[in-house]
Amino acid sequence: MSNRKSLTMIVAGLSTALALTACSKTVDAATFPTASISNVAYSEQEAKQLPSDGTITEAGVYKVSGNITTPITVNAPKDAAVVLRLDGATINSTVSIKQAGDVVLYVAGDSSISSTDGHGVDSKSNLTIDGSGKLTVTSKDKDAIHSDENLTVTGGTLEISAGDDGLKAVKNLTIDGGTINVSKSNEALEALNVTINNGTVTTHSTDDGMNASLDDGLADQNATPSITINGGTVKVYADADGLDSNGNLTITGGTTTVIGPTTVDNGSFDADGTFTITGGTVVGIGSGGMPQTPTAGQGWVQQNVTVKAQDRVKVTDSNDAEVVSLMAEQAATSLFVSMPQITEGQTYKVTSGSATTEVVAGENAQGGFGPGPGGVGGPGAGGSSDLGVVPPENGDLRAPALTGSSRRGETNQPTDGSSS
């Protein structure tokens, strides 16, 4: 298939998604479709040169490369599909998408966007990020990548440093692939609906790691926020809640690890609605005093622990077979583990440091079968680190389908190579 034909099909797909969006009546993941594109290379021969004044006013593929000091602005017709092909671009201002149907940032090579007085990328339209290259986005005071509509990541490597949120969408934030590293943020991922289907996501935040909440602009809509993890490898370092949903929290697969919180008035997981785990491996270890446990799903264990950085923590079954083993990356007082191998009602041993405690799967540390207590969710409802513990750089996490660990700038991959 020729590049021209591929591009035509992609633009047609974007136009279809736009038409569906225009028909939407409610605010949920099903009726706010995002741009659906294929992982193809946008041909350099197909791309137009970026206009000299940096303003794009019509549909098409535009090549962006070299040192760009003029602000880039997309102000195209409402039905226009615009692709910015970033290839070796250094952009020293906000990329502002004022109007278009759907916009794609295709990352062909190593590029960067840096803003000192606004969002790194500020979109009023649906925004999709795809490609095989690396994009570094830095914002001094605001969000690194912000969309007033939907934000979808399907490929590429994103290195994010934000003065406020890392990736934020008012409606849906969907991660279908790629690698995302948020090294600095207030809240790393935020949207009405945060959905991770695949990819590798590592986040660091001084507040919540992920937050699902109703934006002021959607206050008149009948919407339930949600965090859904269906696959991928997710690792969250959070000072406040790790995964915080003002609605529902659902995990069906993948590998999810929460390191945190570091303050007692938070928890690794916080859902105001239902909290369900039906698949995958989920670990939460932190110093929060408000552990919340699932309302339904597969087996889990939760136990109060007393560990310091680099202590070994493990869970074994009644036959002393190891279920999961990890090295604490910071001081912690609470451990949560959910895996398909854990059977509700059976007894397991939790060894932390030199102490071993028996715990019944499905029973929280306060006694009785889940769910455990939850905190009050919402953006900005967190705290700052007050432990003064420096996590080690060589922590590891081991289980039948779970190995590896990462701090800032490192990558965490299962030993079997799977990501979903």
Would the pTM of this model clear 0.75, i.e. be above it?
yes
What is the spatial distance between Cα 11 and Cα 24, in angstroms, rounded to a whole number?
A: 20
What is the spatial distance between Cα 71 and Cα 76, in angstroms, rounded to a whole number?
A: 16
If we measure between CA atoms, which residue out of 155, 179, 185, 181 comes closest to residue 37? 155
For residues 343 and 297, the answer to whether their CB atoms sit within 8 Å is no
- Measured from the Cβ of residue 163, the count of other Cβ atoms closer than 10 Å reads 18
- Measured from the Cβ of residue 247, the count of other Cβ atoms closer than 10 Å reads 19
What is the spatial distance between Cα 356 and Cα 9, in angstroms, rounded to a whole number?
A: 59
Q: Residue 17 in 3-state DSSP?
A: helix
What is the spatial distance between Cα 196 and Cα 255, in angstroms, rounded to a whole number?
A: 11
Number of helices (H), then strands (E), in the chain: 1, 37
What is the spatial distance between Cα 52 and Cα 336, in angstroms, rounded to a whole number?
A: 55
Look at residue 353 in the predicted model and tell me its pLDDT: 80
Look at residue 8 in the predicted model and tell me its pLDDT: 41
H/E stretch holding 21 reads: helix 3-22
For residues 230 and 255, the answer to whether their CB atoms sit within 8 Å is no
What is the spatial distance between Cα 402 and Cα 413, in angstroms, rounded to a whole number?
A: 8
What is the spatial distance between Cα 339 and Cα 87, in angstroms, rounded to a whole number?
A: 42
For residues 343 and 318, the answer to whether their CB atoms sit within 8 Å is no
pLDDT by residue for the chain (420 residues), tens only, comes to 444 434 443 444 444 333 323 322 223 333 333 333 443 345 565 788 999 999 999 999 999 999 998 899 999 999 999 999 999 999 999 999 999 999 999 999 999 999 999 999 999 999 999 999 999 999 999 999 999 999 999 999 999 999 999 999 999 999 999 999 999 999 999 999 999 999 999 999 999 999 999 987 776 677 999 999 999 999 999 999 999 999 999 999 999 999 999 988 899 999 999 999 999 999 999 987 788 999 999 999 999 999 999 999 999 999 999 999 999 999 999 999 999 999 999 999 999 988 999 999 999 765 444 454 443 333 333 332 222 222 333 333 333 333 333 333 333 333 333 333
Indicate the DSSP class of residue 133. Answer: S
CA quadruple 337, 341, 344, 348: dihedral positive or negative? negative
Tell me how far the alpha carbon of residue 387 is from its chain's centroid: 25
Look at residue 14 in the predicted model and tell me its pLDDT: 46
What is the spatial distance between Cα 387 and Cα 94, in angstroms, rounded to a whole number?
A: 36
If we measure between CA atoms, which residue out of 173, 94, 180 comes closest to residue 141? 94
